[in-house]
């Protein structure tokens, strides 16, 4: 049994990862300050003997008494309204200071540490599909820069700790993951569209809806994260994790409408600043090295996500806390 630390463990991805690791009979320490995470995502794990919750902000140094074998650094606001608004400075701090603190902890414990980076490091890509060797096209002063550049800096720190401090690292770049445990208010396109439809609202699409995304169901992403963490030491990444099937945002909106309420309309608003027009991962590297490819198609994944968010809408409606943009 390994002892595994998951930072950002009450968030969407972190909580799914914690649950999977507990199912694999590992000992899990879930660390989060619940800035954007939710305790409800891990409430059912709290009584499990192999699960421990630690409330802490990764921006502040910390230590753990138990010997840590692996660390998944999942801590960072990933909600566009959060990191483009009140949490922008906090996002940069979490990416940079959080990475430093996690890397120092990994060095102290001799633990392997995985950085959950993002496709946003490619910015508005001039290469399509995006391959790991592409260095990106990011606006360093735009409204998304705190997230894009924060993650780029975190990658740099990971590689410097590997080169100069001998820390055992893994770096992955995640593309548009969706599924259960998404916050109804987090502002990501899949949860936005589903919640608007469930609330009987028209679907808001920015621009003409021709921008593309590649949507990866959370179970597939978790499979890849665990494979990468446990891969041979020499395979450190960065490596893309995502579904290479590309959809326009308009196609996604129409699919959600067809599944929930065919009478709803799609309405269009101005495209936000620096919103990438194309997103599609080249996953040749992870296919060849780890024999991984996604197995859940978008229609099937949306059905599961709709079922989950339907329960959340009922819960949030009772407290009047759903406010979809």
Report pLDDT digits (tens) over 275-311. Answer: 788 999 999 999 999 999 999 999 999 999 999 999 9
φ/ψ (deg, to 5) at 80: -55, -45
What's the mean pLDDT in 79-95?
A: 79
What's the mean pLDDT in 68-91?
A: 83
pLDDT at position 317 is 60
For 170-180, write each residue's pLDDT tens digit. Answer: 999 999 999 99
Catalytic residues: 147
Lowest mean pLDDT among 131-135, 140-144, 294-298: 140-144
pLDDT category at 325 given cuts 50, 70, 90 is very low
pLDDT at position 79 is 65
- Counted residue by residue, the chain has a size of 325
What's the mean pLDDT in 105-119?
A: 97
Burial class (CB in 10 A: 0-12, 13-18, 19+), 139: middle
What integer best gives the mean pLDDT of the chain? 92
pLDDT category at 85 given cuts 50, 70, 90 is low
- Domains of the chain with CATH codes: 3-178+217-243+280-296 (3.40.50.720)
CA distance 265 to 216: 25
What's the mean pLDDT in 247-257?
A: 95
> What CA–CA distances, in Å, run from 185 to 131, 190, 312?
31, 11, 10
What's the mean pLDDT in 244-258?
A: 95
pLDDT category at 187 given cuts 50, 70, 90 is confident
pLDDT at position 170 is 98
Where is 103: in which H helix or E strand?
Answer: helix 88-109
């Amino acid at each position: 049994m390994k002892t595994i630390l998951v930072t950002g463990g009450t968030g969407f991805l972190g909580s799914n990862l914690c649950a999977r690791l507990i199912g694999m009979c590992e000992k899990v320490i879930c660390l989060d300050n619940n800035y954007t995470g939710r305790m409800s995502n891990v409430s059912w794990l709290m009584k499990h003997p192999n699960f421990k919750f630690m409330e802490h902000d990764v921006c502040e140094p910390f230590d753990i008494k138990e010997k840590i074998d692996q660390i998944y650094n999942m801590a960072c606001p990933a909600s566009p309204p959060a990191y483009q608004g009140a949490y922008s400075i906090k996002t940069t701090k979490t990416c940079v200071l959080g990475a430093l603190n996690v890397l120092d902890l990994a060095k102290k414990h001799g633990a392997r540490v995985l950085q959950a980076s993002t496709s946003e490091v490619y910015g508005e890509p001039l290469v399509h599909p995006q391959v790991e060797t592409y260095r990106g096209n990011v606006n360093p002063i735009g409204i998304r820069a705190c997230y894009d550049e924060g993650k780029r800096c975190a990658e740099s720190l990971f590689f410097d700790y590997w080169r100069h401090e001998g820390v055992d690292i893994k770096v992955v770049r995640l593309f548009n993951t969706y599924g259960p445990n998404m916050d109804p208010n987090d502002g990501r396109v899949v949860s936005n569209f589903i919640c608007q439809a469930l609330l009987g609202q028209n679907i808001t699409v920015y621009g003409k809806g021709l921008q593309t995304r590649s949507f990866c169901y959370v179970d597939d992403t978790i499979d890849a994260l665990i494979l990468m963490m446990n891969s041979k030491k020499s395979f450190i990444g960065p490596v893309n994790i995502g579904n290479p099937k590309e959809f326009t945002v308009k196609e996604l909106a129409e699919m959600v409408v067809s599944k929930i309420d065919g009478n709803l309309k799609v309405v269009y608003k101005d495209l936000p600043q620096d919103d990438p027009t194309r997103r599609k991962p080249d996953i040749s590297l992870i296919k060849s090295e780890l024999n991984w490819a996604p197995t859940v198609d978008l229609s099937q994944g949306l059905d599961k996500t709709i079922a989950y968010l339907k329960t959340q809408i009922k819960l949030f409606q009772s407290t009047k806390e759903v406010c979809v943009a």
